[in-house]
A and B are shown apart, each in its own frame.
Chain A
Amino acid sequence: VSRGEIEHRIKRVLRERLEIDLDRVTGRNGGALAGSGLGLDSIEALSLAVALEEEFGFNIDDEDLTAELFHSVGTIADYVTRRSSPSSPATRSDPDLQ
């Protein structure tokens, strides 16, 4: 699955599950979901996590469930890419990869 397709599916989940205005995601703060972006709260992050688990077919471990993971569509896509890759063990999203 390409990176572009992963980001497309993440944005679809955001739109359908959380009614998030995608123009704001892409237009503000480099696509940030947290901080000065949309400011997902912790429960919305959980809601998004549940939706992502269903969408991509894996469980997000408790230790990975952090505010950093949900910083932006990019950090989520990094995580999904890692979890989707059979040769790579799941680790925390690395900001350097953005």
Chain B
Amino acid sequence: VKLAAPADAYYASVIALTAAARVCPSRRARARFARLLGGAAYRFSRSKRRTIEAHVDHVLGGLDASRRDAIVREVFRTCWQEMLECSAPRLRPAELAETRFAGREHLDEALARGRGVILWESRGFGARLAAKNLLAVHGYRVHQVHGPNNLGGLLTSDASATWVRRALVRRYFDSLERRVTAEVLNLPADGTLAFTRRLAALLEQNAIVCITGDGQSGQRLQTVEFLGEEEPISTGMATLAELTGATLLPMFCSDEGTGPELVIEAPIEPDRALPREARVRATMQQFMRRLESWVRERPGQFRNWHLLRLPAPPRPASARNLTAEAAQRHRPNSPSGDRMALSRHPRGPR
């Protein structure tokens, strides 16, 4: 394993900023800091900004420039709000007044059934860490499950590629998240499956397991519709609910700078009339439909606009002129290749 890679300098700078946010005396001060950082990211991350603008236009359509700009700025602010949240202390009583927690009865009813609860959250929507903070304050300690490439909310294609990432960056973010959860479980990347027994055992003990419903790492992916496109999503948690009888509860938490609003929705019920594969897909589709309604209602809370499998944005005219000849050399039979390429960004806050 390499000691470090150039991208690790970026991760280190994010850690430094989250550490700096600890001096913020209140959530409001931290929210202002996030707005400042989000504004800087909006200004300097031009490529990401253009992709978000194009995807917001493509999905929502008919927006005037100022509305679209406000959404894109909010996306950058939300990214930094989520990053800084990891250094936030437990919510204080005075701050609880600025929070909202709806759907608690769904969680209590599911726990009363005694077969475990799977809180299904989105990897890219809203305030995930604030949700755990709020749950902890209300007495619910969740077992947080992360994919093998989780790096505390930072996007990476390989969280174990360097010693710095594995031993420092991940450990740093995990330790902060453990303050508001029962434990943090990182799924292995080596093909071992023993962790599945641990998850099943937790649910058998009526624990609350929290995992993303739109994750894209796993042994099997199924495509489901999301924002008008097909997205490949991991099937693992839908089948875990099938195996254990645990209740699947979609959970969404947004924070528009005024305090976290946590909503636990009514359970997703598998359609027992369908055969196995269709049933699993339908369960996943139900979650994605609910996520989509949140994204359409609060588009600035969705941090992953730039990761959608949508056509890449057109480049500015100057950049097109400079690179047109080179692009043609590489893709002589694909004149529209740039516009149709899937847009994926190697790193940056999710």
Contacts and interface: CB of A to CB of B under 8 A. Distances in A.
Interface of A: 18-20, 34, 39-47, 49, 62-63, 65-68, 70
Given A39-B221, A42-B219, 19 more contacts: A40-B219, A40-B220, A41-B235, A41-B239, A42-B193, A42-B236, A43-B199, A43-B200, A43-B239, A43-B242, A43-B243, A44-B239, A46-B193, A46-B197, A47-B243, A62-B197, A65-B194, A67-B219, A68-B191
Interface centre among B218, B219, B234, B235 (most CB of A within 10 A): B219
A68 B190 CA distance: 11
Nearest to A41: B220
Contacts, number: 66
Contacts of B242: 43
Contacts of B199: 43
16 contacts: A34-B219, A39-B221, A41-B218, A41-B219, A41-B220, A41-B235, A41-B236, A43-B199, A43-B239, A43-B240, A44-B239, A46-B200, A47-B239, A47-B243, A66-B193, A67-B193
B276 interface: yes
Contact of B193 (A18, A39, A65): A65
A67 to B, nearest CB: 4
Interface in B231-274: 234-237, 239-240, 242-243
B219 A46 contact: no
Interface centre among A42, A49, A62, A65 (most CB of B within 10 A): A42
Contacts of A43: 196, 199-200, 236-237, 239-240, 242-243
Contacts of B61: none
Contact of B219 (A39, A63, A65): A39
Contacts of B197: 46, 62, 65
B336 interface: no
Interface centre among A19, A41, A45, A62 (most CB of B within 10 A): A41
Interface centre among B220, B234, B277 (most CB of A within 10 A): B220
A34 B191 CA distance: 11
Interface residues of B, number: 24
Contacts of B333: none
A93 to B, nearest CB: 13
B6 interface: no
A68 B193 CA distance: 10
Closest 3 interchain pairs by CB?
A19-B276, A46-B196, A41-B220
Nearest to A61: B194
A32 B197 CA distance: 23
A19 B275 CA distance: 8
Interface string B189-214: 00111111101100000000000000
B193 A63 contact: no
Contacts of A62: 192, 194, 197
A39 B195 CA distance: 18
A66 B195 CA distance: 10
Contact of B191 (A19, A20, A46, A67): A67
Contacts of A41: 218-220, 234-236, 239
A27 to B, nearest CB: 16
Interface string B276-314: 110000000000000000000000000000000000000
A57 to B, nearest CB: 18
Contacts of B221: 39
Contacts of B192: 62-63, 65-67
Contacts of A47: 239, 243
Nearest to A19: B276
Nearest to A69: B193
B276 A45 contact: no
